[in-house]
Amino acid sequence: MGSFELLSKNIQRKIWDMKWDRFTPIQDQTIPVILNSEKDVVVSSGTASGKTEAAFLPIISMIEKEATTSLKVLYVSPLKALINNQFERIERLCEYTDIPIHRWHGDINQSQKKKFVNNPSGILQITPESIESLFINRTEQVKRIFEGLEFIVIDEIHSFIGQDRGVHLRSLLSRVEQYTKKTPRIIGLSATIDNFELVKRWIDFKHPENVEIIEAIGSDKQLLYHIMHIPTGEDRKIKVELFEDMRELTRHQKAIIFCNSRGSVEETTVFLNRFAEREKMGETYFAHHSSIDKKEREYVEKTIMESKLPKSVVATSSLELGIDIGDVDVVIQLDNTYTVSSLKQRLGRSGRKTDASQMLQLYTTKEDSLLQSLAVMELVLEKWIEPASDYPFPIDIAFHQIISICQETNGITYGDLLERIETNHILHTLNTLDVQVLINHMVEKDHLEIIQGKNELIVGIEGERILRGKEFYTVFMTPEEYDVLEGIRKIGNLDKSPFVNIGDNLILAGKLWTIKDIDTDKNKVYVSKAVNGKPPLYLGSGGKIHKKIGEKMMEIVCGDREFTYTNEEAAHTLRDMRKKYQQFGVHSNQRPIWEMKNETIFETFTGTTITRTLCWMLSSFGVDIDSVDGIGRITIEGSKDLLQVLQQIQLKEWKPEDLLPYTKEGEYYASKYSVFLPKELQDRIHIAHEIDISATLDYLNSFKFNVIKLI
C-alpha cells in the first residue's frame, strides 16, 4: 500500500485539494514509518523538502477522531516566530478535520490560554520556555493538559542538541511524560544534523534502538556559489564599493543578507537603502535581528513575504531557521560563518521554487575571513557538518529544574527529588553525589527550604527571588538591555554598556538615531533621527570553530589549488597569504611558530577548545600569552623555547584542575545558573565545557611544529 492510501480519507481529500501529484522523497519515506510503527522518528532532509507535512499528514490521520476532546500533539519550536509561521500551515492541513490548533507563547493573550486550559485538545504549538511556565503557573492543570498526549514534534531539533536550552527541553519533556497515559512518540525535524547516535540517546537514552532515522541524502537542487573578496579595513570608500556590488546583485532579486553581528546588519541596511533611495526606489532593505522590537520584526517578515517588488532583508541568525518570508532568490553571507552547519542552513533558504537553483554569494573583507570562508565552503561541498555533541555536565540546568520541580510539587522529599533527577531523560547523567552536593548547597543558601515534620523541600526565600523573576523560564543567558524609544514608539533594544552616552549615534532597525536621553532606572534610551555625521555604535560577536575547519584552513593556505568560484582579488590575496608558507616549506601536517624580535606567533589551525586548552597549558609553563584571535593564532610576548615547552606538555600527566589557576576571569565558563553553584561545581562545569586535555595532547602528537625565525 502506498503512502497516500495509508492516510485518512480527510487527509487524502486535502492532498487532492492542494493538487499534489506526488509526495517528496522524505514524505514517502516518513509517512509509513509513523503510521505503521510505534517508534520515535528523526526526519532529516534539506530546507523546503516537506518535513512538516511528512510528520503531520500521518499524525493528523492518527489523531483526528480523539483530538477534539484531548491534547494529542505538542509541537515544540525554538522560535515564537516559527510557531506563528507554522500555525497557518498546519491549520490548512487540518482543514477537513475538527482538530483545533492552539499557540502558547509570551505573545498569546491570557484569554486564549485560558480557553485552551479549560479544554486542552488537538495540537498545541509551544516553546520550551512556555512548557516551563505551565509547570510553574498551572501546576493544578498539567495532569489534565498532558494525560492524553501521543506525539511530541520538535522542529529544528538540531538547534537544541548540545545546548543548555536542549537540556532544559529534554528535562521538561521527561517531566511531561510523568502525566501522560502512555509515552508520547517524539518526532524530530531537521535540515542539518549529524551524529545520529547521540540524537537517538537524547530522544530515548534507555532504548536508542527504538529511534528511527529517516534521512534524505543530498539534494536535487543545483548549488550556484561564489566568493568575492573586497578587503575594506576601515576604508569607507572601499566599503561603498562592497555595498554597491551587493546592491547591484540584489537590485532585481529578493535576498536574505546574513551578517555575523547586529552592528553589521544595521550598517549594511543603511548603506544599501542609501543606494536604493538614490535610485528613487524607497526603503528596499529591512534589518532583522533579536534587538529589534517584535512588532518591527513581524512587519519586516510580512512586508518581505507580500511584496511584489524586489525587497530584501538583512539579518543575523534570526532568519537562519525556517521562518517563512516567501521565495528567496539569493542568499548573501557577509564574512565567514563560524560553523559549516550554519552556512548550510542559510544557503537552504534559497531555491525553494520548483526547479530553482540555490544561490549563494559570499563576501569577505579580511584575509582571515576569506580563508575561513573557503574552508567552510569546501566542507559544505564535501557534505561534512559538525557532529552533534552533548551538553556536558548539566549541573547548572539541574539547579534550575530543582527549583521548578519543588514549585510544581509544592514540596517534595529529598529522596523523591533525587529519584526525579536520576530518572530524568537527560539529567540522569549527573552523579548522585554531585546532585546531593548541589541540593545541600541550595538549602544552605536558602534557594530551598526544608519543612520540618514533613521533611519536604520547598522553594526557599532566595529561590523565590529567582523563580519570580521574569527571566526564570529561560535557561540561556540574555544580555541586560535598554529599551530604545522614539517618543512612545519602541524601536528595539540596546545592550547595556558604559560606552553608551547621550549624544552618541546608533543604528537600529536600519535607521540612524541620536541618543537624546538615558533613563538608567527604567532601562530606557530615548532617541531621535540623526541629522549629524557622527559615526554610530556597532556591536560585534564571535564563535567557536570545530577543529576540522582549522585543519581545512591549513590545508588551503599550504596548498596550491586555485578556486574557480572566487574573484581575482580573492585569488590574489590567497596567493599572497601562501607565500611565506611556500617560502619556508610549511606543509599542512605541520604548524608554524613564527619567531620575531619582540613576539612569537603560534598558528595552531585547530578548534577553539583545543587552542584555549593549549594556551592554559603554555601559561602553566610560564609562557606569557598576549592574545588569541578567532582562528587560533596565539601571540606570545618575548621569545621562549616553545618546542621544549610543547615537549614538556606532552610528557606531563595532566589533570584538568592543573589549568584552573591559569584561567583568567573573563575566560571562565559562565552560564545563566552556574553563578549559583558551589565553587567545586563551578570548576567542574568550566572543565567540562572549556578544557579538553585528551584532544589537545592528540593534537600535539598529530602535527610537527616548526619554529621559523623572521628576525
Q: Judge whether 300 and 510 are in contact, CB under 8 Å.
A: no
Domain co-membership, 194 together with 68: yes
Q: How far apart are CA 234 and CA 390, in angstroms?
A: 40
67 pLDDT higher than 50: yes
Domain co-membership, 605 together with 693: yes
Q: How far apart are CA 184 and CA 99, in angstroms?
A: 18
Angle at which helices 367-381 and 568-583 cross, to 10°: 100
Residue type, 423: T
Residue 538: the pLDDT is 45
CATH number of domain containing 519:
2.30.30
The model's pLDDT over 378-409, given as tens digits with 9 standing for 90+, comes to 999 999 999 989 999 999 999 999 999 999 99
Domain membership of residue 56 (yes or no) is yes
Residue 320: the pLDDT is 73
The arithmetic mean of pLDDT across residues 346-355, rounded, is: 72
Q: How far apart are CA 81 and CA 318, in angstroms?
A: 10
Report how far Cα 433 is from the mean position of its chain's Cα atoms.
32
Query: What domain count does the chain have?
Result: 5
Domain membership of residue 158 (yes or no) is yes
What SS3 class is residue 106? coil
Domain co-membership, 620 together with 675: yes
Domain co-membership, 48 together with 144: yes
The model's pLDDT over 133-150, given as tens digits with 9 standing for 90+, comes to 999 999 999 999 999 999
Return the closest-CA partner of residue 534 out of 500, 572, 504, 564.
Answer: 504
Angle at which helices 693-702 and 608-620 cross, to 10°: 90
Domain co-membership, 450 together with 518: no
The model's pLDDT over 297-330, given as tens digits with 9 standing for 90+, comes to 888 888 888 888 889 999 988 777 767 777 788 9
Q: How far apart are CA 540 and CA 477, in angstroms?
A: 17
Return the closest-CA partner of residue 101 out of 118, 78, 83, 127.
Answer: 83
Domain co-membership, 205 together with 297: no
The model's pLDDT over 222-267, given as tens digits with 9 standing for 90+, comes to 889 999 999 987 666 778 899 999 999 999 999 999 998 888 898 8
Domain co-membership, 258 together with 133: no
Residue 539: the pLDDT is 44
Domain membership of residue 399 (yes or no) is yes
Residue 519: φ, ψ to 5°:
-105, 95
Residue 255: the pLDDT is 92
Residue 511: φ, ψ to 5°:
-130, 155
Residue 535: the pLDDT is 56
Q: Judge whether 139 and 171 are in contact, CB under 8 Å.
A: no
Q: Judge whether 386 and 675 are in contact, CB under 8 Å.
A: no
- Mean pLDDT, all residues of the chain: 90
Domain membership of residue 687 (yes or no) is yes
498 pLDDT higher than 60: no
478 pLDDT higher than 60: yes
pLDDT grade, residue 504 (50/70/90)?
confident
DSSP label at residue 560: -
pLDDT grade, residue 218 (50/70/90)?
low
Q: Which residue has the higher pLDDT, 330 or 507?
A: 330
The arithmetic mean of pLDDT across residues 516-534, rounded, is: 80
Domain membership of residue 338 (yes or no) is yes
Residue 540: the pLDDT is 44
The domain boundary residue, chosen from 410, 433, 467:
467
Domain membership of residue 563 (yes or no) is no
The domain boundary residue, chosen from 381, 415, 442:
381
The model's pLDDT over 104-118, given as tens digits with 9 standing for 90+, comes to 987 788 889 999 999
Q: Judge whether 402 and 412 are in contact, CB under 8 Å.
A: no
The model's pLDDT over 164-210, given as tens digits with 9 standing for 90+, comes to 999 999 999 999 999 999 999 999 999 878 889 999 999 999 999 99
For cell 525556517, what's the residue?
Answer: 322
Q: How far apart are CA 563 and CA 601, in angstroms?
A: 28
In degrees to the nearest 10, what's the CA dihedral of 171, 173, 179, 182? -130
Domain co-membership, 669 together with 613: yes
How many other CB atoms are there within 10 angstroms of residue 470's CB atom?
A: 7
Domain co-membership, 274 together with 200: no
354 pLDDT higher than 90: no
Burial class of 190 by CB neighbour count within 10 A (0 to 12, 13 to 18, 19+): buried
Domain membership of residue 439 (yes or no) is yes
Neighbouring residues of 521: CB distance < 8 A, sequence distance ≥ 6 = none
> Could you tell me the residue range of the domain that residue 680 belongs to?
589-709
Domain co-membership, 367 together with 322: yes
Domain membership of residue 559 (yes or no) is no
Residue 247: the pLDDT is 95
CA 580, 586, 588, 590 dihedral sign is negative
pLDDT grade, residue 101 (50/70/90)?
very high
545 pLDDT higher than 60: yes
How many other CB atoms are there within 10 angstroms of residue 709's CB atom?
A: 12
CATH number of domain containing 114:
3.40.50.300
Q: Which long-range contacts (CB under 8 A, 24 or more apart) does 168-172 make?
A: 168/128, 168/132, 168/397, 168/400, 168/401, 168/475, 169/76, 169/128, 169/131, 170/202, 170/425, 170/426, 171/397, 171/401, 171/424, 171/425, 171/426, 171/427, 172/128, 172/131, 172/132, 172/135
Range among 481-490, 500-509, 577-586 rated most confident? 577-586
How many other CB atoms are there within 10 angstroms of residue 691's CB atom?
A: 23
417 pLDDT higher than 80: yes
Q: Which three cell numbers stand for residue 547?
A: 577543529
Domain co-membership, 229 together with 347: yes
Return the closest-CA partner of residue 283 out of 297, 295, 269.
Answer: 269
The domain boundary residue, chosen from 381, 407, 439:
381
Neighbouring residues of 193: CB distance < 8 A, sequence distance ≥ 6 = 42, 44, 157, 158, 161, 199, 385, 388
356 pLDDT higher than 80: no
E-state strands within 369-488:
412-413, 448-451, 456-459, 481-486
Residue 175: the pLDDT is 98
Q: Judge whether 41 and 30 are in contact, CB under 8 Å.
A: yes
Domain co-membership, 180 together with 34: yes
Q: Which long-range contacts (CB under 8 A, 24 or more apart) does 240-247 make?
A: 240/271, 242/363, 242/365, 243/268, 243/271, 243/272, 243/275, 244/275, 245/363, 246/272, 246/332, 246/363, 247/272, 247/275, 247/276
